[in-house]
Amino acid sequence: MPDDLETPSGLPVKPVYRPDDAHIEYARDLGDPGAYPYTRGVQPTMYRGRLWTMRQYAGFGTAQETNTRFRMLLAKGQTGLSVAFDLPTQMGIDSDSPRALGEVGRVGVAIDTVEDMHVLLDQIPLDTVSTSMTINATAATLLAMYVVVAEERGIPRAKLSGTIQNDILKEYIARGTYIYPPGPSLALIAEIFRFCAEDVPSWNPISISGYHIREAGATAVQELAFTFANAMAYVAGALDAGLAIDAFAPRLSFFFAAHNDLFEEVAKFRAARRLYARLMRERFGASDASARLRFHTQTGGVTLQAQQPLNNVVRVTVQALSAVLGGTQSLHTNGYDEALSLPTAEAATLALRTQQIIGYESGAALTADPLAGSYYVEHLTSTLEAEAEALLQRVDELGGAAKAIEAGFFQEEIARSAYEFQLRVERGETIIVGVNKFTEGDESPVIPSPDYSALEREQVARLRAVRAARDAKATQAALGALRAASASHVGETDGVRPHLMPLIVDAVRARASVGEISDVLSGAWGAYRPGA
């Protein structure tokens, strides 16, 4: 091997590490698990008290199909739900819109009205099972639907637990499922913070996502820095809206990727906790409870390969192990066939079994932070923290996350990292087994696809049936109230702006659709156009 080896983030790796390489003081930099700065974990006994939540991500065409998969996974030992929505739902477009043609149900479940949400959650005990929903621009509407389903089942809001992603800044950076401009989008997020703190106290109102930043091509350093830049913007926005830091910050949650370099990923998770704790205390004077970084992890989607797909079983196992050794609070493990199709039941079951074997057989859960004190891991932890902090300082100099997005800083940095990675793969400097080394010349298997046209027709018919059966006057009255309130959220005002979440709940209860609610808000706020 050459002497100048590096981690995937470009951090140099020496042949051997010794005590002087760790650069730590125990009380200052580590502390015991459950104590500031939380480097070693957010709970004193970590997984000895309770294993992480095994939360497999799923979403298939219709609500009925997805409900069937959810109940299958719960029966096999999954401990939490995670919902993938189709692109029209994410973009605030109803299934019968011409803009949704060809996209209904393709990358997740189609949800148009609260009736779909009822089907999605059928026979699932919402007072005992937590649910994560990967939804951003329309997060307020989907949360309102969840609340109304519970209400119509007689379940109090205080008993609901789960998370909405609700991270719009990373959509401008890395994914693109935004609708409204940044200003009103951030104001709506602050509204959701308030609503959850007052009405749904066990719900996480946001999952600030480094995952999608990493999937777009970022390094581990960029994943940390850009995620926390966004987090600082959300916290500042909530404070500007009049919320007290300790009223909402304890419920903030995060979402990170786990990639293939086992030790860099473990160190990244440890560095994330320490950096976040220090940022929250030093910038906002947050209490220790508000400085604890709680996060979900998903194994790396972009690391899955269509060639020799069974190799992905090993990749997912290594990545999942890094998340556990790094102290994650919940985990999704990808199916080995996801580079080819939505995961089959067999692949999803094996992915869940991977978590269960790590949890019950590997010994990784027996003690908190088992890699603490490793000279190499402590060196990587400190180096990643320092590099991420320096990059975060560059964002601060640009005026914060929103200004950095407007300037294209995040996007350019990620694009450069992605390009450099691809060049290394093409030159053979970064080896991907079965892709640029140890290839077998086999073509990727073909996985049969569902009949999406039939699925789309079924979903459109369901939406139109709800519209025909609802009380049209009640629906229009609810949408009208939301329209008037959302208009008051534009521009400067000396008065108190009305809270939007209760009005969105009212509209959902009146069977307004995702698209109708989105149209009301975009009518008041406009649509975001990059560079405009």
Q: What is the pLDDT of residues 496-519, one digit of tens each?
A: 678 999 999 999 999 999 999 999
The strand ranges marked E within 310-414 are: 330-332
Model confidence band, residue 5 (pLDDT cutoffs 50, 70, 90): very high
Q: What is the pLDDT of residue 390?
A: 98
Q: What region does 433 belong to: left with phi over 0, alpha with psi -120 to 50, or beta?
A: beta
For residue 264, what are its two tokens?
């860099």
Q: What region does 31 belong to: left with phi over 0, alpha with psi -120 to 50, or beta?
A: left
Query: What gap in Å lies between CA 513 and CA 502, rounded to an integer?
Result: 16
Model confidence band, residue 532 (pLDDT cutoffs 50, 70, 90): low
Query: What gap in Å lies between CA 26 and CA 460, rounded to an integer?
Result: 59
Q: What is the pLDDT of residue 353?
A: 97
Beta carbons within 8 Å of 532's beta carbon, 6+ residues apart: none
Give residue-wise pLDDT tens across range 12-36: 999 999 999 988 899 999 999 999 9
Does residue 493 carry a pLDDT above 70?
A: no
Q: Pairing between strand 162-164 and 80-84?
A: unpaired
Q: What is the pLDDT of residue 274?
A: 98
Q: 3-state DSSP helix/strand/coil percent for the chain, to nearest 5?
A: 50, 10, 40
Model confidence band, residue 492 (pLDDT cutoffs 50, 70, 90): low
Q: What is the pLDDT of residue 43?
A: 97
- Give the lowest-confidence range in 292-301, 336-345, 477-486: 336-345
Say which residue, 419 or 531, is predicted with more confidence.
419
Burial 119-146 (b: 16+ CB within 10 A, else e): bbbeeeebeebbbbbbbbbbbbbbbbbb
Nearest CA among 191, 193, 171 for reference residue 182:
171
Does residue 160 carry a pLDDT above 70?
A: yes
Strand order in the sheet with 162-164: 203-204, 162-164, 131-134, 80-84, 53-58, 330-332, 295-299, 253-258, 207-209
Query: What gap in Å lies between CA 340 and CA 411, rounded to an integer?
Result: 27
Q: How far is CA 32 from CA 26, 379, 490, 531, in A?
A: 9, 18, 47, 47
Three-state DSSP at 133 gives strand
Q: What is the pLDDT of residue 495?
A: 53
Average of per-residue pLDDT across 292-310 = 96
Give me the residue label for tokens 């692109």: 87
Q: What is the pLDDT of residue 446?
A: 67
Residue 9, Cα to own-chain centre: how many angstroms?
Answer: 21
Mean predicted lDDT score pLDDT of the chain: 94
Beta carbons within 8 Å of 320's beta carbon, 6+ residues apart: 258, 299, 331, 333, 354, 355, 358
Average of per-residue pLDDT across 473-494 = 86
**Phi–psi pair at 206, nearest 5 degrees:** -160, 150
Three-state DSSP at 289 gives helix
Q: Angle at CA 387, nearest 5°, toward 383 and 388?
A: 115
Q: What is the pTM of this model?
A: 0.94
Q: What is the pLDDT of residue 116?
A: 98
High-pLDDT (> 90) share of the chain, %: 90
Q: Angle at CA 29, nearest 5°, toward 269 and 271?
A: 15
Q: How far is CA 277 from CA 27, 152, 327, 400, in A?
A: 14, 39, 15, 19
Query: What gap in Å lies between CA 380 and CA 369, rounded to an integer?
Result: 15
Q: What is the pLDDT of residue 497?
A: 75
Does residue 200 carry a pLDDT above 60?
A: yes
Q: Say if CB 145 and CB 118 are below 8 A apart.
A: no
Could you tell me how many residues make up the chain?
532
Give residue-wise pLDDT tens across range 322-332: 999 999 999 99
Does residue 147 carry a pLDDT above 70?
A: yes
* C-alpha gyration radius of the chain: 23
Q: How many CB atoms lie within 10 A of CB 183?
A: 16
Does residue 366 carry a pLDDT above 70?
A: yes
Does residue 196 carry a pLDDT above 90?
A: yes
Does residue 488 carry a pLDDT above 90?
A: no
Q: What is the pLDDT of residue 60?
A: 81
For residue 92, what are its two tokens?
């605030």
Say which residue, 124 or 79, is predicted with more confidence.
124
Question: 517 exposed, middle or buried (CB, 10 Å; 0-12, 13-18, 19+)?
Answer: buried
Average of per-residue pLDDT across 190-212 = 96
Give me the residue label for tokens 């025909």: 468
Give residue-wise pLDDT tens across range 92-132: 999 999 999 999 999 899 999 999 999 999 999 999 999 99
